[in-house]
Chain A
């Protein structure tokens, strides 16, 4: 009996020993796991920084045309708050429309090349243009001001955490003391977990019958944010406590505090989460940390508990109440004086408009991404916090999107056959907008609905340009003349009749629209009215290879077969290529490089990449000017005259384009300062049955009317005449609109040729 009892006892002892040792081994292993996790986090990469894409900055200069409403819209989008009184803080503005004045207290703004400190300015307008810009603080007159670019979107993996990392030494002592007073006043006394703090919190909460204090230390909060979820369960609390103890054992209080100040979640701006005290100071107060007042510091610290609930963007009252609670605590703890307390209580909360990042211009962003991916990996783009400055003009982008969507909808309403049926692809379109002088891509709409189809028809879709290609034929004719010896000019008479073009043992016959032929027509008229047969004759005389080479020289990059049908636009190109080629004409024969990305800057403001304006004179300015005059005729008298009837009255040049099978409708049009290409059609083989003038031109017109409304009216200007040119003796350069050079041969103005 005793023996069996002894046996049971020893077996139990062994079992206990085994269990205990297993427990110890497992415990040690688990602790090691947690320690490794803590070490990896504290000593490795703690945060990822999404890259951000910005629009172009907004340049206001004395002399610029400006509509007050456009400026107001822009300021709203930039997060400025419209005040009824004179702006007193950065980020406020006031409009006195009757007096023609706008007062703005500018934000601080870091451009890649320089830092701009926010100053109060006054813009005075006269007759719709900026007459004066002055620094309101000291009365200095300014030549220009630059409003910061708008944040379009971020490139991130799962969530967008917006933060700027600061060193502890960069955080004002008051900010640190306030946060500690509110969140963990025994921070320097405990070892990561504070049982006394837990008990006190319980007591305070019981007394007030509300949740006034938490029992977690700063270290525990940090650990929770780094590794764990928000759930308040034992399965989360225990590892949290253990990891906090480990962190305190391995790292100093300064390190823990610094990480906390950078990690803490402090609000939301649309898809962007606001993390860290620096970012929060910018988000709520548009200020660096060092400029926060006592009241603002108190509010910042008070937000930690429930940033969205007590956010001043949501409820000024809730934010004020929370701030005052914190101020009372600071006074109690003698961190601030009674004077400071009273002054802080009297501070008005900053008035702010929350501006969410709305991810506009998705097609443009896709284009940017493609360009970026040539030099930067996805990991770099989503983690290294690059800032990408683009050429995008959000105002033009919105105008283009609206024009396309509404234009296509209108087409479907007036032509029911175009409506989407069942599984069929719907009617689609694309717009690309360029500034000819610089090649900047100001807007890009690759389709009707990005959510439905991300296919970007501006640069991914190759379509036949049809008659949009014809100007290259006429340009080649002016440039080279004909192989027959003909020296072409706008008044040269050419034959618009049926003919057969033999080449490489084959025959090709161009046909006019409706098989209607006009006989002897002028070069000018043939282009204005887009006559196929006449154009083909010119192309045959000039040589199709010359036409092809010239198109390449202007900016068409796609392969172009040197066959007769090329003259009528049978080779496929993208709208972006067409835009560049026509921009060359608009820019006096200077081909611009299309520019979407302007600068890429890293987190330390180091410029990684700067893409400058690249221009090259590829045809003479005289020839370009001549073509512009001819293409003005297209709008004024020719197939593009519909633009005038629809109310677009500015000097402009352009060309309609319709493919033979009516699958593609194009319009390209430009002023000296802005160019837009519009394409309309179906993605599949379905025909739209409408010409460029019917389908694309109205969309172009609607866009340009709105886009140029606030721009000065300009016309194409001819080139200067050098002092020692052959005709230099006759005087200086001739400008459009002035009397022609008296020494030049007499030229008859545009008129119908004999027989037309």
Chain B
């Protein structure tokens, strides 16, 4: 974050056609063992991606009290194995549905972003109609038109998931996260789809963690809720 902040601050303040004068040669004292530097911002993170482990240690700002239903208490806590014996952190209320891509087109939207969103929506419909290969071809165009359209990457991830290409799906989700990770609804969707991919790859622990992260961000996330319920059903012993 701090790296991003000073990066933005580092944007050139003067136009390119007035270049800086060349530095006059100066004699400098012998270099100390550790070079001097001006007061620098916070240490740069090596990898500033948000990962499940980053969220594991954080608690949300204000959470409703934990539910006392059997389902809620049987859900694993964030980052812990699905023991089902400890109460889960309180889930925030579901977020408003922000899934409409066309609703994101406003008068201020650039033509490229608008076109990219419309095309993403078309790709989504093709995907929902059950043709992920055709959807993929369409969705690849969305990022050509506007490579900052994170929703395009999300649906590319979904198309790859439906085609059974889980590693590729996870790659696209990483990119989507860097583009639209500031939007809780969509970040929740990203986590949920991540969970689906991990589950398909047999990485159940990571899947469960992802689902839980999705639920923490948006308790109304159906994909995560259903998946967790399914997993719970699979791990519980059969009753007579």
Contacts and interface: CB of A to CB of B under 8 A. Distances in A.
29 contacts: A61-B145, A143-B118, A437-B147, A438-B140, A438-B143, A486-B37, A487-B43, A487-B44, A488-B44, A614-B168, A617-B49, A620-B49, A621-B178, A623-B44, A626-B4, A626-B7, A636-B12, A712-B110, A712-B111, A719-B178, A723-B187, A724-B58, A734-B5, A740-B8, A744-B1, A748-B38, A750-B11, A750-B13, A752-B23
Interface string B167-209: 0100110110111111110010000000000000000000000
B9 A744 contact: yes
A487 B41 CA distance: 9
A720 B150 contact: yes
Interface of B: 1-17, 19-21, 23, 25-28, 31, 33-38, 40-50, 55, 58, 60, 110-112, 114-115, 118-119, 122, 133-134, 136-137, 140-141, 143-145, 147-148, 150, 156, 160, 168, 171-172, 174-175, 177-184, 187, 217
Nearest to A487: B43
Nearest to B28: A519
B44 A486 contact: no
A517 interface: yes
B136 A612 contact: yes
Given A437-B147, A521-B23, A720-B182, A617 B8 contact: no
A445 interface: no
Contacts of A478: 3, 44
Contacts of A755: 23, 26, 28
Interface residues of A, number: 99
Contact of B144 (A129, A435, A492, A752): A435
A92 B112 CA distance: 28
A326 B178 CA distance: 68
Interface stretch (A31-39, A170-178, A359-367, A725-733): A725-733
A720 B141 contact: no
B228 to A, nearest CB: 20
Contacts of A620: 45, 47-49, 178
A117 interface: no
Contacts of B47: 619-620
A625 B4 contact: yes
Contact of A741 (B8, B145, B150): B8
A688 interface: no
The secondary-structure label for the interface of chain A is loop
A741 B2 CA distance: 10
Nearest to B174: A617
A484 B34 contact: yes
Interface centre among A437, A487, A524, A726, by most chain B C-beta atoms within 10 angstroms, is A437
A489 interface: yes
A484 B35 CA distance: 9
B8 A610 contact: no
A675 B193 CA distance: 32
Interface in A573-630: 587-590, 610, 612-617, 619-623, 625-626, 629-630
A712 B27 contact: no
A64 B146 CA distance: 11
Contact of B115 (A62, A610, A721): A62
A619 B143 CA distance: 19
Contact of A481 (B6, B44, B119, B182): B44
A212 B83 CA distance: 93
B9 A722 contact: no
A336 interface: no
Contacts of B38: 491-493, 748
A635 B19 CA distance: 10
B182 A495 contact: no
A118 interface: no
B182 A637 contact: no
Interface in A362-394: none
A637 B16 contact: yes
Contacts of B217: 723
A721 B4 CA distance: 9
Given A437-B143, A518-B25, A747 B10 contact: yes
Given A63-B115, A623-B3, A722 B187 contact: yes
Nearest to A478: B44
A520 interface: yes
